[in-house]
A and B are shown apart, each in its own frame.
Chain A
């Protein structure tokens, strides 16, 4: 039997002291209340100078982290992404040390290798049994896979599991085993599972995004990717989700059966697997309620750790077995470098996620984005922040043209043969800038407020303070 403590008792028991590193996962996405619960208590308990190592920061967690930053409880942040208002605070130099942006695979690697030793992991679970086994699929607030928390559970010095559902029976489905958990904490609520599907998971009605999705499917066809057994992943943006919907129709029409689909798993992918369109779903994060329940119910639906998903040092890495990856972006440059964290204006808008991991691993990486948002062009001479190096990107699809990386002559030929009329990325940029004008790029002279690491932990690209560059 695992001891059930209050959160305060568990923190006291953990040996946590100021200056240490704590971790969280973000599977509850916009519905997460655990981050706020813990950080507010740490402030009450007068902790300071903590490093926050989190798989991503969304919704109310952003406000909670900002409160902790302002109180000096948290002074360092390591994440794959963040949103407002925390993102503005970062740009305004309010976080004492530069934020480190890591990919999902890079985070798992960093924890496993000891680059980022986690002292105390706070792991939200939708259910725990008395022995300390955890899952994200039972209880009143299921969120599905606990993929990002596996490395934390395995490698953290002390593991505090936080749940709002304590099962007297052993859990039939166990994501994290009791032997990895030190104590259990029962709280009234870990959050709201209805908000798991929030964030970047809207199904778009935007006709421009539909057009880009149609072209993306056409690129996959032309490239010869859509063959029996092909392995597929799409990111969390609206266009990527539309591509999956179109792919479902295509696969049905052509009686095509794929191999696996991976990454963030949606109800659409669950339906496709049930219909035999994919053999296996490898789920690091369940993107909606249907997927959250399916992971425990369907044998084709496998929960995977972030390490299995995308750790570059993991020989079984799923991301390296992808045939095609559809990747969203906030910005692309003439060298095909992709920015998925900040906008052309320097504001932090998105996340690294597993994009750089999957782009590296996939045989065909398709970046999808509209030509411009508002009046801000999305293809420019240089990106503000390099998140995915251009060498890992094969083709960029927009509503105003398709550009193929010159190092993929085979793909260029295939798209020409399919009459998809690929153009040089310089021509694509010119078409866009003719409408929007050339953007004024943020300066690069101010203090560094964030750094993007590559998958192996090497510094790839810095982000500069907006305070230092604005007039």
Chain B
């Protein structure tokens, strides 16, 4: 998935249209964009609207992934959030500030309980773990290994920068390390990795630069906070026509040879290159 659009779960007019702008996924947010005194209202609204939203998308022939960002484990709301999600048929939750295996086990245990209550197959609900702190980054490999429910990592650069006392726009170098570590840990377990949002809505050039950097470090997509960022992100995280053409040539050339290694347009093509070509043709950037 290349793009995930965050949408506050307390604004019906934005929720109903969130899926139509071309992102690969929508994250309805119960966390940061919802004031503490509106958490109950947003949860209720989410439960009420999700069926309507899915039906509307289906009528339009739009296939899109839906996730919900719940509140963190350090709050009083995360269990109610998870309960609302499962009652609304949500199968993918984005969990903020995951820092350890223990955090994942705690969420998984509660999900086990909810799934049993609702007579859902165990493990139905998947988790995108949002890694936002230096500790989370250091634990990325262990977190990835902690549960089969984990299907993706998402990076939270704003909190990470804050922990290091850095401002986001001045931290491009400092962000290379956590990004690499997260992308690598995700790849080790076949998970997807999505980069942090770019919060500067008027800086489209910065968005492109930031997205290109994260793709070069191994991310397959990025979260966005405004629909006007989606097209750019989808483009950056898609293979170019040139790459697709090259991949086709490689896969075709491999079919015609019995040897494991061949030359294609002056370049040695061995197993890793073939793997890359197959991924390109499958549309996987990570």
Which residues of chain B are near A205, meaning CB under 8 Å?
Answer: 228
Q: In the complex the two chains form, is A435's CB within 8 Å of B16's CB? A: yes
CB distance from B4 to the nearest CB of A (A): 15
Contact with B along A430-441 (1 / 0, CB 8 A): 110011000000
Question: CB-nearest residue of chain A relative to B12?
Answer: A375
Q: In the complex the two chains form, is A210's CB within 8 Å of B17's CB? A: no
Q: In the complex the two chains form, is A210's CB within 8 Å of B227's CB? A: yes
Cross-chain contact of A207 among B56, B60, B61, B227 (Cβ < 8 A):
B227
Which residues of chain A are near B228, meaning CB under 8 Å?
Answer: 205, 207, 210
Instruction: Report Cα–Cα, A400/B58, bound state, in Å.
Output: 11
Contact with B along A203-224 (1 / 0, CB 8 A): 0010110110000000000000
Which residues of chain B are near A211, meaning CB under 8 Å?
Answer: 20-21, 227
Q: Is B52 an interface residue (CB 8 A)?
A: yes
Q: In the complex the two chains form, is B52's CB within 8 Å of A431's CB? A: no
Q: In the complex the two chains form, is B17's CB within 8 Å of A208's CB? A: yes
Which residues of chain A are near B213, meaning CB under 8 Å?
Answer: none
Given A207-B21, A399-B20, CB of A434 within 8 Å of CB of B55: yes
Instruction: Report Cα–Cα, A430/B20, bound state, in Å.
Output: 17
Q: Is A421 an interface residue (CB 8 A)?
A: yes
CB distance from B226 to the nearest CB of A (A): 7
Cross-chain contact of B59 among A207, A210, A421, A434 (Cβ < 8 A):
A434
Q: Is A422 an interface residue (CB 8 A)?
A: no
Q: In the complex the two chains form, is B60's CB within 8 Å of A400's CB? A: yes
CB distance from B54 to the nearest CB of A (A): 12
Query: Which secondary structure dominates chain A's binding surface?
Result: helix
Instruction: Report Cα–Cα, A454/B2, bound state, in Å.
Output: 50
CB distance from B69 to the nearest CB of A (A): 20
Cross-chain contact of B56 among A208, A210, A421, A434 (Cβ < 8 A):
A434
Which residues of chain B are near A264, meaning CB under 8 Å?
Answer: none
Which residues of chain A are near B55, meaning CB under 8 Å?
Answer: 434
Q: Is A350 an interface residue (CB 8 A)?
A: no
Contact with A along B225-245 (1 / 0, CB 8 A): 011100000000000000000
Q: Is A401 an interface residue (CB 8 A)?
A: yes
Instruction: Report Cα–Cα, A205/B52, bound state, in Å.
Output: 26
Cross-chain contact of A435 among B56, B61, B227 (Cβ < 8 A):
B56
Instruction: Report Cα–Cα, A401/B56, bound state, in Å.
Output: 12
Instruction: Report Cα–Cα, A221/B277, bound state, in Å.
Output: 33
Contact with B along A417-428 (1 / 0, CB 8 A): 000010000000
Instruction: Report Cα–Cα, A208/B60, bound state, in Å.
Output: 15
Q: Tell me the B53-71 residues at the A interface (CB within 8 Å).
A: 55-56, 59-61
Instruction: Report Cα–Cα, A401/B61, bound state, in Å.
Output: 10
Q: In the complex the two chains form, is B227's CB within 8 Å of A400's CB? A: no
Which residues of chain B are near A399, meaning CB under 8 Å?
Answer: 17, 20
Q: In the complex the two chains form, is B52's CB within 8 Å of A400's CB? A: no
CB distance from A287 to the nearest CB of B (A): 23
Instruction: Report Cα–Cα, A208/B17, bound state, in Å.
Output: 8
Instruction: Report Cα–Cα, A205/B61, bound state, in Å.
Output: 26
Instruction: Report Cα–Cα, A430/B59, bound state, in Å.
Output: 9
Instruction: Report Cα–Cα, A228/B227, bound state, in Å.
Output: 32
Instruction: Report Cα–Cα, A435/B56, bound state, in Å.
Output: 7
Cross-chain contact of A431 among B17, B21, B60, B226 (Cβ < 8 A):
B60
Instruction: Report Cα–Cα, A431/B55, bound state, in Å.
Output: 10
Which residues of chain A are near B227, meaning CB under 8 Å?
Answer: 207, 210-211
Instruction: Report Cα–Cα, A399/B17, bound state, in Å.
Output: 9
CB distance from A218 to the nearest CB of B (A): 12
Q: Tell me the B8-52 residues at the A interface (CB within 8 Å).
A: 16-17, 20-21, 52
Given A401-B60, A421-B61, A431-B60, CB of A207 within 8 Å of CB of B52: no
Most B Cβ at <10 Å: residue of A205, A210, A211, A430? A211
Q: In the complex the two chains form, is B16's CB within 8 Å of A400's CB? A: no
CB distance from B268 to the nearest CB of A (A): 37
Given A401-B60, A421-B61, A431-B56, CB of A207 within 8 Å of CB of B17: yes
Which residues of chain A are near B61, meaning CB under 8 Å?
Answer: 421
Instruction: Report Cα–Cα, A205/B229, bound state, in Å.
Output: 12
Question: CB-nearest residue of chain B relative to A205?
Answer: B228
Given A207-B228, A210-B227, A211-B227, CB of A431 within 8 Å of CB of B59: yes
Instruction: Report Cα–Cα, A421/B20, bound state, in Å.
Output: 14
Contact with A along B112-138 (1 / 0, CB 8 A): 000000000000000000000000000
Most B Cβ at <10 Å: residue of A207, A421, A431? A207
Instruction: Report Cα–Cα, A208/B20, bound state, in Å.
Output: 9
Instruction: Report Cα–Cα, A400/B61, bound state, in Å.
Output: 10
CB distance from B82 to the nearest CB of A (A): 28
CB distance from A214 to the nearest CB of B (A): 8
Question: CB-nearest residue of chain B relative to A435?
Answer: B56
Instruction: Report Cα–Cα, A77/B29, bound state, in Å.
Output: 51
Instruction: Report Cα–Cα, A421/B60, bound state, in Å.
Output: 10
Instruction: Report Cα–Cα, A205/B226, bound state, in Å.
Output: 10
CB distance from B232 to the nearest CB of A (A): 13
Which residues of chain B are near A208, meaning CB under 8 Å?
Answer: 17, 20
Instruction: Report Cα–Cα, A205/B96, bound state, in Å.
Output: 29
Q: Tell me the B222-265 residues at the A interface (CB within 8 Å).
A: 226-228
Which 8 residue pairs are nearest across A and B when measured between Cβ atoms? A207-B227, A431-B59, A208-B17, A399-B20, A435-B56, A207-B228, A207-B21, A211-B21
5 inter-chain pairs at a CB distance below 8 angstroms, sorted by A residue, are A207-B17, A208-B17, A400-B20, A431-B60, A434-B55
Chain B contact residues, CB within 8 Å of chain A: 16-17, 20-21, 52, 55-56, 59-61, 226-228
Given A207-B21, A400-B56, A400-B60, 6 new contacts (CB under 8 A) = A211-B20, A399-B17, A400-B20, A431-B60, A434-B56, A435-B52
Chain A contact residues, CB within 8 Å of chain B: 205, 207-208, 210-211, 399-401, 421, 430-431, 434-435
